[in-house]
Amino acid sequence: MTVLDIPELALVALVGISGSGKSTFAGRHFASSQVLSSDAFRAMVADDENDQSASAEAFDALHYVAGKRLRAGRLTVVDATNLQPHARAALVRVAREHDVLPVAIVLDVPEALAWERTEARSDRTFGRQVLARMSRDLRRSYGQLAREGFRKVHVLRGTEEIEAAEIRYERLF
């Protein structure tokens, strides 16, 4: 079992390519009200969780809600790929604005497995190249996360480690 220590009040960024199991992981370990997913926010602003042209508006709304939650002292989990520095920088900024620690949980599964899962889903229609690009972005992310301001970077490699992970909350005071 891998124990992930997380401050009681944190902004948790899940990081992983599509099909790595972020939403599944979020559903297993957190209450649905604690999880802000980019898919849900795209659906809210554009009626379509896959409408990538709605991403800017969707993330704007997501960051706004994250700020409201953190101000109220509520743990918040961001279920999005979070593979690009600018996406993560926005999360670190929101966390800092509210004196909350940003934490990253990286889910790293073989690209071939993620592709297999993605192909089996009717709600995902992007091509193999898109997933390959995400994998490249993930590789680059490793060296950057701590430097970007994430106070803890937990990395789960492979489905076994992901499935066996448990969250343990650290008391802040």
Strand partners, 77: 12, 35
Residue 106, number of CB atoms within 10 A of its CB: 22
Interface size with Mg ion, residues (CB under 5 A): 2
E strand or H helix at 153: strand 152-157
- Tell me which of ligand GTP, Mg ion, none is bound by residue 159, counting a contact when its beta carbon lies within the kind-specific cut-off of 5 to 8 angstroms: ligand GTP
Strand partners, 155: 106
34 binds Mg ion (CB under 5 A): no
Residue from 23, 34, 55, 159 touching Mg ion (CB under 5 A): that is 23
Output 9 or 105, the one with its CB closest to Mg ion: 105
Q: Which residue is nearest to Mg ion (CB)?
A: 23
Write out the residues near ligand GTP by the rule CB under 6 A: 16, 18-24, 81, 117, 124, 159, 162-163
E strand or H helix at 169: strand 166-170
Name residues whose C-beta falls within 8 Å of residue 151's C-beta, 6 or more positions apart in sequence.
7, 101, 102, 103
Amino acid present at 53: S
Q: Smallest gap, in angstroms, from Cβ of residue 59 to ligand GTP?
A: 14
Output 18 or 93, the one with its CB closest to ligand GTP: 18
Q: Smallest gap, in angstroms, from Cβ of residue 156 to ligand GTP?
A: 9
Q: Which residue from 104, 87, 142 is spatially nearest to 12, judged by alpha carbons?
A: 104
Output 2 or 159, the one with its CB closest to ligand GTP: 159
